[in-house]
Structures are given as structure tokens and as C-alpha cells.
Amino acid sequence: MKRIQLLLGVAGFGALAVMGWSAGQQSDLVIKFLGAGKPTIALPDFRGAGGAAQYADVFNKTVFDDVQRAGVFTMAPKSFYPLNPPQQESDLRTPAAPEPARRNAPPPVAKDCGGRCLSDWASSPVSAAYLGFGYASEQNGQFVVFGHLYNPTIPDLNGARLFRKLYNGELNENGARQVAHQYAADILNQLGVASLAGSKVYFVSDRQGRGTKEIWSMDFDGSNEKRLTSFNSITTMPAVSPDGTRLAFTTFAKGQPRLMMYSTVTGRFIPFLNPQASVNAQPNFTPDGKNVLFASTADPRFMNIYISDLDGGGLRRLSNVRAVEAEPKVNPKNGHDVLVVSGRGGMQQIYMMNIDGADPVRLTTGEGEASNPAWNPNGQHIAFSWTRGYAPGNWNLFIMDVSSRETVQLTHGEGRNENPSWAPDGRHLAFSSNRTGKSQIFTMLADGTEVRQLTTQGNNYMPVWVK
């Protein structure tokens, strides 16, 4: 518990394993997040006419990536697609009836339509339960898309139609990407899954050099990266208020680590009264947005957990133990349960206590070191980093059902995997990993699949995924 280095972004301060579970298998815990079984979808490329043609590739890639990233569909390989997919509803045909069977001859086989009949998509090798198609055009200086979604297993064209919609945006890459997000969101809505489009990831980066770290933001897919702080110092550990209007973080800009607040609406800093302490760090907002929890050495003997009003007033101490306690995380559903990383029993482990500091209980088994707890939006499950089963310092990501303590390992020795943060949909995680050499931000599904790298410049840490 000597890890003040946590302030520089290290996983340390700053369960029952599922027997027989391995990659490629789904535990009951994973099925709770992702469900069992995925329907197959085919998404042939939209063509673009006029000025829209140059942005068709951006549109098609964004739609495919959004739908695939959601993890609710099996993506039919494009190499299996028929040669002439429909672009509009008038392209669809009803397959001709097979010729009558003749005596002593093999049964007749229905002829395909080269992609213009729904049965071409429902049958092997595509075997799709969903077919999305359409086209893009330029109209009045706008990027306009006619998007459709059909169930090709239903022979009747009217009965097979799930939706047809008109979308429009600016005639540029951003407009094409935004329209693609909207179309993909409507597809995902058919399975009751919310799109991640519009959500953001806040993170820490050292890409500006000179030994500094600053807070950045980006869209959920890694696009639109923006630098938010410019202290030319170590600025780290971001947290976002439930309504998304406040960003809290830890900075060394004035010497000792202290907390600062930033308005995501005005782009200005908001006053926050730090207690007298050598360290004030790791802020976390309560679900009602009225208070902030953080770790502090206001009592210089040990770092413990404190709570204050949004301006730093009304300071109260929540934990009072002769050990380092850090990384407070409040349950987003009940506002009552608080996760902390504590060394009260020896090696740092994850504990849960009441919002008033009472009734602490250890969640992890005591093996190795555990850190970086993060609540799922459902308030029933957590993700965290753990060295269980590995030499100290080798961190992997796990998820846990808090009630049963059932635990599943998501990463397996591919570098240091730390700082998990749940997406708003509760199905995805952002995390940092040095598996490529430098620390970068990745996302994945809650079963450890569909891993995608979002950042590439410099080293990047501590993602926080918000609506």
C-alpha cells in the first residue's frame, strides 16, 4: 500500500473465478450482458450519386462498424453476397416458381435472382435474418440517404419490410458519418439495443510531450479528438458528472496534486475548495450530481475517502482506517454503495461500503492486487483490474456480479490492461492497455471480444465513457 505512484496513472491504487470458462465460451454472467445467440445481418454497400458518391465509402464503413461494434448481430461476410444487391425497393423481385417436378428427375431447384430476391439473402451461404440496403444521393446540396431494412426470411415483400427512412445531412464526411450513425441506430433499435453514437470518451494523454499529461475527449469510435486542458503539467484521473456538464480531475499544475472542475458547457473552470492535504485525487460524482467523493490525505497519516459538496464545501470523512484507501466509485443506481480500493487487509483489494463509510465488505478474494473498480450502469456488476493468477504488476480485466461474486476474466496476458470504464449501454468497456508497446485506449464487448483500438498518438490512459 505504498502506491502514491497511482497519481501518475499506474493501475495500483493509483471473487470467485468461473471454473472452466475460457475465450470462445460464454458464462452466464456474460450472457446477462450480451444475450445468447446472434441473428445474421447482411449490409451491402450503398452507392452514391452525384456529389454524394465521394462520401459513400465513409457512410458504408460507419454503418458496418456501428452495427458490428454493437455485438448483437453476426455480420454475414461480404464475399458471400450475391452480385446484384438491391439499392431501392423497386429493385426487389419475387422469385419465379420452380418448374413442376418430372417423373424420375431430381426435385427442381428454385433459381436465384442474383441478389434481387429476398430469398437470395435468406438462403445459404448468406443465411441472413436481416438485410439492410439503400442508396445515397445529393439533393439541394445535402447528403441524402434512402435506407431500408428487411427480413429476407419472409417471402411477402410488404411483410418483410421492417422500415424505410429518409436521412439527410451536410454534404461532407461529417455529414455522411452522422447520417450513417442514424441509420445504424435504427437497425440496432430493431433488437432493442441503443446506439453508442453521440457518447464520448474522456481520457488522459501525454502526446503533447515535455513530460506532461492532459485531459482529452473523443467520440465513441475514436474520432474527433480534442484537448481540454493545457496546464503543461500532470493532469489526470478524469470524472464526469451524471448530467455531463462538469469534468473533475486531478492536476499537479500548482505543485501538490489537487482537484479541479471544468464546465463542459462553457469551457471554463469552476471553483473548487480543496482541503489542506498533500494529496487530493480521484474524484467521483454521486448519481444525483450534488456531491463529490475523492481520496485525500487531509489526515496526513493515511489517504482515506472524503465527500464534499460540488464546490468543495461541507467536507466529511467517509473512511477512517490505518491504511491507504482510494478510487471511490458510487453505485449509479442506488447512490448508496461505494467501491473503494483498500489496503486494510494487506495487499490492495476492492471493498464495498455504505455511502456513510459503514459496513465495509471485501469483494475480491485477497489474491494478488485489485484496482480500478467501475460500476456497470445497472448497479449490479463491476469491472476491475486484477493481478490474480499472475506475477504482481501484470494486470488483466475482470467483471463481477457483486451479489454472487461470480467473476469472469476478459483479457489474458496481453500487456497491462487497466482502467475499465463501462459504456452507457452497459455492454461495452473502454480500457487502457500497453499491448501494442505504448499505452492506448481500446474498447471491447463485455465478453472480451470485438477489441478495437481508438488512440494511436503518444500514451493514453484512464478512459471515462459517458453519454
> Is residue 36 very low, low, confident or very high in pLDDT (cuts 50, 70, 90)?
low
pLDDT in tens, 269-301: 999 999 999 999 999 999 999 999 999 999 999
Question: What pLDDT score does 243 carry?
Answer: 94
In the chain, the percentage of residues whose pLDDT exceeds 70 is 90
User: Which of the residue ranges 97-111, 148-162, 346-360, 374-388 would you say has the lowest mean pLDDT?
Assistant: 97-111
User: Which of the residue ranges 1-5, 98-102, 255-259, 306-310 would you say has the lowest mean pLDDT?
Assistant: 1-5
* pLDDT at 104 > cutoff 90: no
Question: What pLDDT score does 30 carry?
Answer: 72
Question: What pLDDT score does 23 carry?
Answer: 42
* pLDDT at 257 > cutoff 60: yes
Question: What pLDDT score does 186 carry?
Answer: 98
User: Which of the residue ranges 67-81, 84-98, 192-206, 261-275 would you say has the lowest mean pLDDT?
Assistant: 84-98
The pLDDT mean for the chain works out to 91
Report the pLDDT averaged over residues 131-144: 97
Give a three-class secondary structure readout of the chain: CCCHHHHHCCCCCCCEECCCCCCCCCCHHHHHHHCCCCCEEECCCCEECHHHHHHHHHHHHHHHHHHHHHCCCEECCHHHCCCCCCCCHHHCECCCCCCCCCCCCCCCCCCCCCCCEHHHHHCCCCCCCEEEEEEEEEECCEEEEEEEEECCCCCCHHHHEEEEEEEEEECCHHHHHHHHHHHHHHHHHCCCCCCCCCCEEEEEECCCCCCCEEEEEEECCCCCCEECCCCCCEEEEEEECCCCCEEEEEECCCCCCEEEEEECCCCCEECCCCCCCCCEEEEEECCCCCEEEEEECCCCCCCEEEEEECCCCCCEECCCCCCCEEEEEECCCCCCEEEEEECCCCCCEEEEEECCCCCCEECCCCCCCEEEEEECCCCCEEEEEECCCCCCCCCEEEEEECCCCEEEECCCCCCCEEEEEECCCCCEEEEEECCCCCCEEEEEECCCCCCEECCCCCCEEEEEEEC
**Model pTM above 0.85:** yes
Report the pLDDT averaged over residues 322-330: 97
Question: What pLDDT score does 102 carry?
Answer: 64
**Residue 315 or residue 21, greater confidence:** 315
Domain regions of the chain by residue span: 4-33+196-466, 40-97+113-189
Question: What pLDDT score does 19 carry?
Answer: 30
Question: What pLDDT score does 156 carry?
Answer: 92
* pLDDT at 9 > cutoff 60: no
In the chain, the percentage of residues whose pLDDT exceeds 90 is 84
pLDDT in tens, 396-446: 999 999 999 999 999 997 889 999 999 999 999 999 999 999 999 999 999
Question: What pLDDT score does 103 carry?
Answer: 67
Report the pLDDT averaged over residues 109-118: 80
Question: What pLDDT score does 341 carry?
Answer: 98
* pLDDT at 6 > cutoff 60: no
Report the pLDDT averaged over residues 67-83: 94
Report the pLDDT averaged over residues 338-347: 95
User: Which of the residue ranges 141-155, 167-181, 274-288, 391-405 would you say has the lowest mean pLDDT?
Assistant: 391-405
* pLDDT at 86 > cutoff 60: yes
Report the pLDDT averaged over residues 170-179: 97
* pLDDT at 15 > cutoff 50: no
Pick the CATH number of 4-33+196-466 from 3.40.50.300, 3.40.50.720, 2.120.10.30, 3.40.630.10: 2.120.10.30
CATH topology of domain 40-97+113-189: Rossmann fold (3.40.50)
